[in-house]
Amino acid sequence: LKQSPYHKEVTHKLKSVYGLQGFRQNQLAAVIAAMEGRDVFVLMPTGGGKSLCYQLPAVCSGGRTKGVTFVVSPLRSLMQNQVDALKEKGVDVLRWSPGSSDTKDIFQRLRGAVKPNLVYITPEKLKESGSVQTILSDLYDRGQLARFVIDEAHCITTWGKDFRAAYESLGSLRRNYPNVPIMALTATANQKMIDDILAKLQLKDTALFSQSFNRTNLNYVITPKKKNMINEIYRYVQENHRGQTGIIYCLSRDKCEKIARELQKKGLSAQHYHAKMDESDKERIQVGWQTGRCHIIVATIAFGMGIDKPDGKHIRFVIHHDMPTSLDGYYQQTGRAGRDGLPADCILYYSYGDFHNAKTMITKNCEERGSTREQIENAIQEVREVMQYCENDSECRRVHLLQFFGEKFDVKNCRRRCNNCANREAMESYNMTKEAHDAIELVRSLEND
């Protein structure tokens, strides 16, 4: 990689723009592949530094493709976080989402002599806006489209719970702009999902980068649900994470609001967050969260995809009040914690009734979206996999979770950072072969009598 003609510039920009002295695993290789104009697929765990893989090539003047990098991102809040962070670094970046009031200014910038390095855009805006297509075609004809970046690429696959219909239309990018390289990034995908993403985006000669899914600093705990969960969560936070930052995930919007309200009454700095809130309220809570005024977010999965904490108060705990609906979703949600590499706790409160509630909710949501019977069965199977994970009280949580992503993990490396391994010392193993044989013989003798 040091022999690459792009190595000098990317290492210089890494220091001058980002203030970093070195790359994390696979970052440099992914950046160089992007500079070479290749299609790139990046599979990194949350906190692994995916964003740098496309942001760094965008601020470099070298590379086989020149011009603007368009970043497709699923959430406006996520886009705004990244745009704000880049602007603080002096990067020329725009955000283009549905309802943008500055569309005329964006047009002028993209048609002007000095163009932005990056444009963040939602898949819905890309799909539905004729003006976006006009701009893209104009840039393409002038050779000023550097690359397309598909962030949270797992949203394109129907194998995952985060499927977004607008993401499916991204397959047209390769047809309409065949010479523009595409980079896809995600933190959660097993092999079936990877194959589906590559096929739907029509990636070719792809440079694929992946690394271990093991988050060594996270402590995974599954514990039985209590009768009074408000008191239980309050007790846990006060005893283990007083004054620290955390996320509590729930399945329903009503439950989010109720839990946040009750925790506020107990004196905790908590706010609810879900997809049906007004954009102004979402932005207010995001700002409070980002600046440290709010310590605890009680949220549905609408919050947290790609979220970061620039104030240095990194997330020390993630609590699942309800059972998540898929293992990849669970991995991604718990992955919000400990992105600074310091220890963090992931607590899931489980009851068998949660499985039935989740199954009912998933079925209803799928039917409302017009999902096929196969898609509904796939979604229910994902919920069943979470139930099996929760009810497995002997196997290392990491072994079980990483196996889902096709990764073999040595249980010795868990180092008691899950409740099953922590409890293993209290368990003893016995060879019961003789006793089992005697029991079988006894049953046979009784049958003969």
Residue whose pair of structure tokens reads 């069965």 in the numeric block: 377
Please check whether residues 263 and 195 belong to one and the same domain.
no
| Percentage with pLDDT > 70 across the chain | 92
The reply to whether 442 falls in a domain is no
What CATH number has the domain bearing residue 77?
Answer: 3.40.50.300
Q: Do 199 and 238 fall into the same domain? A: no
Residue 262, both tokens:
């009750």
188, 210, 232 - which closes a domain: 210
pLDDT the model gives residue 445: 74
**Average pLDDT of the chain, as a whole number:** 88
Average pLDDT over residues 346-356: 95
Burial class of 2 by CB neighbour count within 10 A (0 to 12, 13 to 18, 19+): exposed
Q: Assess whether 195 and 96 both reside in one domain.
A: yes
Range of the domain at 45: 7-210
Q: What is the DSSP letter of 25?
A: T
Q: How many domains does the chain have?
A: 2
Q: Are residues 155 and 226 in the same domain?
A: no
Q: Are residues 198 and 242 in the same domain?
A: no
Residue 355 located in a structural domain:
yes
Determine contact, residues 334/218, Cβ cutoff 8 Å.
yes
* Whether this model's pTM surpasses 0.85: no
Residue at token pair 């068998």: 352
The answer to whether residue 291 scores a pLDDT higher than 50 is: yes
Q: Are residues 380 and 290 in the same domain?
A: yes
Closest Cα to residue 179, out of 214, 229, 139? 139
Q: What are phi and psi of 94, to 5 degrees?
A: -125, 155
What is the per-residue pLDDT for 306?
Answer: 47
Residue 54 and residue 130 in one domain: yes
Is the pLDDT assigned to residue 447 strictly greater than 80?
A: no
Say yes or no: 312 and 172 in one domain: no
Q: Is the pLDDT of residue 414 over 70?
A: yes
Residue 346: what pLDDT? Answer: 98
Residue 222 and residue 205 share a domain: no
Structure tokens at 52: 């740098």
pLDDT at residue number 310: 58
Q: Is residue 292 part of a domain?
A: yes
**Predicted pLDDT at 288:** 86
Asked whether residue 201 falls in the same domain as residue 296, the answer is: no
